[in-house]
Structure 1
């Protein structure tokens, strides 16, 4: 068995591409090898900023020989009067067999010639010579470049190529116009610590050879080294490093031989908000900030940078990086002080110059709209005057920091700086907190707003964006969602559910669309289509979140949304909190077995009830069931069960507590099963129309009670 080494040497690659390239190789290369009939014992993937590499162990020297069946020409074309034609002879020759080996078989399209022929295995070197250019040039990513006068595209120029099968060089060339990169045994070590080229004599021992040249080619091992060095460096100044997983992954792919270096800056910069200093360090400089303790918000005047230089020059490196961060922090301090020279609301007029979306006007216009929406939400929630005033003020100010110098420099700090500037301006604490919180959650797994003011303003902001962008016809499709509208709708439902806000989302959508229709600055082509699209969009989000995030079975979600019955969907939009609770309750009673005790009977009753004409909202048997038409005691027992069930259902409707309803349905199910199959059972579809209608009304009433919980017809019996 042989070992194959591929190393693609480049100028410094973007860190994001390094990780992506290895992921693409992991997906593609095992499949390509399998399709080429080359088994491999193991594949190791390596990468640094200057190289992508892999080592395949346990490769055969050639493919195994194999037998393969081939279909040839039709029997009619292959043989004339029992003799082979040129078609048969050519087919046999192409497969390396005698014509006597051909056999005729019947197929759906008539008789055809077939043959089992031997395919000799090709040399592994030949196959790899074909696959390697595909592996290298088939990589995808953003911002690929051309260099020289050729058309070859890659994130950075390719400078060397190593292709060794054991100690044999596989010759191949990547053409790039007048430039050629031919495979060789030559590689390169660390740019500073080992600038001389090195020769790789064999594919094995690659890691060890490069390590001797001060290059750790294993990203996972480099990351472990960096983490250990950060821990030791932080301890050296009695600090705790703030290690962002994203930054750790990035710096891992920015260095070949990492050295953690502690740098310092002037303590006066600790007067800046920690978020600003951290953003300067992480975003601009790729530094790891240091805090006084693991859970302490207090920063220390130190940072850790991961150097790719000479460890002996660490003091000089620290000094240089310190000068850079001091300049950055000085800029941040200037922005911070300049922004605080005026109250936050003084920035509002500048929002007129910021475009939210060309057809929807400025950010100032958006603030006016979302403020009105927030007030509608406050009305729905029946908040007190003090809370309503805070909601209005927070909505009014929530975008003001977008035009501050600090947020202009660091857009990621929108909301964060608004909160700080609001406090400095003397705004109420609830208003200041809401300015930050209304952006939450910013992504999957992010924290949710905790204050009512922040929740209301956040929902209002997203509703305005959703209705506005939908009105322009820019509805998410497939994986395309440039305005993150799915995330906005998800956030609205998550906030509503987490805070138990009893919102009528259907009414809110209606009101917001109506406001857009009345707005002379916005064009709504067809309000009814817009309303329908928004309702469908939220129902899709409802379904997806309950299945994916809450683990509710798909059929139980469908039962809450209704199977083709718009009343269920309308109820969910009017009471999304209740819709979630009913779905979770259905999941609970499925798991504890309660659903099984009522499912069959209720579902059977609901199917038969479709043949009647009882209004789905009727629950009281008074006036719809005539006891004088009963012919069996089972009918009397059925009516008695419905009479007992009525107050339980009414209580469930009033309190949205469905336990009593399910208990009542379970008790009724025993009686109804007697109605269907007991010794005094009845024929529902009696030939007497009045008796038939009476019995269908009994079943319709049971269905109507059950539909207060869900559409049982949508539930799939396990």
Structure 2
């Protein structure tokens, strides 16, 4: 069985597109071959800055012969219908067969499709793939019509068998397939022929091209870390940068350079960000001091002077970049040490957060008021929480954050320290954005938690107030991330927080802000200014606000289900707990859900739920039939069967444990007590007929089932569980 080797050789492909492009090439070519009848054993794709490569092993030599049966019209159908079927099937009347079916005799066309050689199929599939390749951006060049990410120079396409290699006959936009490729642009630019993938990979390596992106990344990391270790230093790990740099070179040569002494006192994050964003350099730090002292750059060529000239040029450019960063840093420090951070906060009055939600300064006022109210819930000092909220976003006006937006928050911490603000305030400047994602660390310092919650709640309630909610996959304001942030802050810090009250407070702040904006606009036009009373349930807008908060809580609960899915907690378990009181207390809700999940993973818990559902079904049917509610009156004196008597005792024991446990929010104990009912419930249903002939016995037993239902529903709404 032959092997197939394809290489598409072009000008430099952007690093960010290479991995996806290699996978697209593999998937589209193999899908096309399989659809045409050519199966294969294995396929692997590779990418370098100048080439996409696909190697396929164990390909069929030709597609199999096929016979297709195509059903046609009935034999008594109009002649035009039969002629249309003949044209569509590409057959003549004598090639039709007749078959008896339920609705009459029907024509069938038997179409023989002989197999085709692999080379012919490959040529068709590859040309189609090249012409329709899904590049994020593409271009045309010269007089041709082909579009590619960068000008495509050559196509290598060979089938290799035991007899040797055969070039697949293919031409795309004037580019004819061959068995030749080229090595490194500078160190081995001459063309050479190959006979298969192993020969191809070996000759490329001799021609200073490392085909595998993973191998290039390993070489870069190993050489960089060894060079740093020799100097007692460490390379700052950055997997994203490593993958990007591996896509910039075909033959990585690691070089280490020094950072000028004038820049060593810059914050390490500033050095790291500047070098990464502008130069694609790795930072090298001193583990004893934490300072960034050197950098690693990766060249695409080995030079006679061991990279000295390359390093000199890089250091010159780096010095210019870091001079800018130093200028920003020193200017920013001068501002905060002279005027404090309030000067920057005032500037945010001219920065629009959203045209319907006011400026960043308006938002800061709302967050400060909300953080003060949340302080008691999270155990923070109210004055510090408000102070932190007022300066947390001040660094958005700084020159450093304007140049490097990804440093917002972190620079706020440096500037707050420089301004002499309390350490809790400085920490909140950095931490209030967190958590930004499912793997991001969650703040635990009370002041930071208060400001982080206020920030996210203001965002959510603000956009809910103006009906800018996520729809489908669209979430332009990252509201899902904000909701997950609130959830993780509450759960990680075990906060006893009523989301309803918190959302109401936040909506109040947003409404006051919106009213002020409207009044200012009305004032400009000579209108009447109106007050902005606190929204209450009895106010004219109360019902509308309640509806928005309910909708926002549903949004939180949906995010919570996704978050807890990774813990293995079933969605129906969460639904069973959501139906209970205080479902806006996420800590309480999750504690209940975890306890219920744990019980359901036991045999007693699973069987008890089945017993509960059986009791509930019998009881519901009887209540519908009789038109009464059997919710009280079960009396031990009417119990006849020992199993019935035992169930009374078991319920007494369970209720005595469940009530105080629920009062103490000890859900594990309450759930265990509920699960302990299982033997008595099972025995009751096995031994006792509920719908007895005696009306007294039947009513008493139905009331006993009601006790089972009431007892179990104290811990969770088990009716919402699946199965």
SS at match of 1:520: helix
Name the structure 1 match of 2:691. 683
| Counterpart contact for 2:372–2:383, Cα < 8 Å | no
- For residues 320 and 693 of structure 2, what CA distance do their matches in structure 1 show? 88
Distance 1:496 1:272, change over 3 A: same
> Matched residues in 1 for 2:39 and 2:329: separation?
61
- Residue of structure 2 aligned with 1:625, choices 624, 627, 633: 633
C-alpha separation in 2, matches of 1:230 and 1:554: 47
Residue 169 (structure 1) aligned with residue 167 (structure 2)? yes
Tell me, yes or no, if the aligned pair for 1:517 and 1:527 is still in contact at 8 Å.
Answer: no
Q: Aligned partners of 1:517, 1:608: CA distance in 2, in Å?
A: 50
Determine the C-alpha separation between the residues in 2 that align with 1:592 and 1:531. 37
1:531 is aligned to 549
What is aligned with 2:301?
309
Deviation at 1:402, TM superposition (A): 0.9
Q: Which residue of 2 aligns with 1:49?
A: 49
Contact 1:497 1:577 (C-alpha < 8 Å) held by counterparts: yes
Alignment match of 1:595 (pick from 605, 616, 619)? 605
Matches within 5 A, 1:183-582: 183-185=177-179, 187-196=181-190, 198-200=191-193, 202-204=195-197, 205-293=199-287, 298-313=290-305, 314-341=307-334, 342=336, 343-381=340-378, 383=379, 387-518=381-512, 519-520=514-515, 526-547=544-565, 549-561=566-578, 567-568=579-580, 571-573=582-584, 575-582=585-592
Contact 1:193 1:213 in 2 (8 A): yes
Cα distance in 1, alignment partners of residues 140 and 516 from structure 2: 46
SS in 2 for 1:9: strand
Q: Do the aligned partners of residues 560 and 141 (structure 1) sit closer, same or farther apart at CA in structure 2, a change above 3 Å counting?
A: farther
Q: 1:611 to 1:517 in 2, by over 3 A?
A: farther
TM-aligned CA distance change 1:682 to 1:266, over 3 Å: same
Q: TM-score, normalised by structure 2?
A: 0.86
**What is the total number of aligned residue pairs between the two structures?**
683
SS of alignment partner, residue 401 of structure 1: helix
Pairing 1:585–2:595 present: yes
Q: Note the C-alpha offset of 1:373.
A: 2.2
Shift of 1:704: 2.8
Q: Match of 1:77, SS?
A: coil
Residues 665, 327 of structure 1: alpha-carbon distance in 2 compared, 3 angstrom cutoff = same
Task: Summarize the Cα distance change of 1:319–1:652 in structure 2 as closer, same or farther, 3 Å threshold.
Answer: same
Cα pair 1:6 1:53 within 8 Å, conserved: yes
1:344/1:418 contact within 8 Å kept: no
Tell me which of 661, 665, 676 is aligned to 1:652: 661
Unaligned runs of 5+ in 2: 519-540, 625-629
Which residue in the other structure is 2:97 paired with?
102
SS in 2 for 1:302: strand
* Alignment RMSD: 3.2
Distance 1:472 1:163, change over 3 A: farther
Corresponding residue number in structure 2 for 1:607? 617
Change (3 A) 1:403 1:235: same
- Residues 334-390 of structure 1: per-residue CA shift (max 9 Å, x gap): 111111112223211111122212221111111111222222322444x36xx2222
- Taking the TM superposition and a 5 Å limit, the aligned residue runs for 1:14-163 are 14-77=14-77, 94=90, 99=94, 102-106=97-101, 111-148=105-142, 152-163=146-157
SS in 2 for 1:423: helix
Secondary structure of the 2:364 match is helix
The whole-number CA distance in structure 2 between the counterparts of 1:89 and 1:17 is: 48
Moved more, 34-43 or 152-161: 152-161
Work out the CA distance in 1 between the residues paired with 2:437 and 2:610. Answer: 42
* Cα pair 2:634 2:701 within 8 Å, conserved: no
> Counterpart of 1:76 in 2: which secondary structure?
coil
Q: Secondary structure at the match of 2:515?
A: coil
Structure 1, residues 218-244: CA drift from partner, whole Å, max 9, x if none? Answer: 212222222222223223433221231
List per-residue Cα deviations over 1:601-639 (Å, max 9, x = no partner): 22223334446889xxxxxx9x94364984647766655
Distance 1:695 1:42, change over 3 A: closer
- The answer for the alignment partner of 1:13 in structure 2 is 13
2:533 paired residue number: none
The alpha-carbon deviation at position 576 of structure 1 amounts to: 0.9
Aligned residue for 1:271, secondary structure, equals coil
Work out the CA distance in 1 between the residues paired with 2:416 and 2:682.
66
1:590 shift after superposition: 2.8
- CA 1:15–1:667 in structure 2 vs 1: closer, same or farther (change >3 Å)? closer
The residue that corresponds to 1:618 in the other structure is none
Structure 1 stretch displaced more, 698-707 or 210-219: 698-707
**1:702 aligns with one of 703, 708, 711:** 708
Distance in 2 (CA, whole Å) between partners of 1:370 and 1:693 is 59
**How does the TM-score come out when normalised to structure 1?**
0.87
Match of 2:528 in 1: none
- Write the distance in 1 (CA, Å) between the matches of 2:293 and 2:277: 17
The change in CA–CA distance for 1:69 and 1:89 in structure 2 (over 3 A counts) is closer
Task: After superposition, give the CA deviation of every residue in 1:562-590 in whole Å (9 maximum; x if it has no partner).
Answer: xxxxx43x6322x2112111221222223
Partner of 2:721: 715
Counterpart in 2 of 1:617?
none
User: What residue is the counterpart of 2:527 in the other structure?
Assistant: none
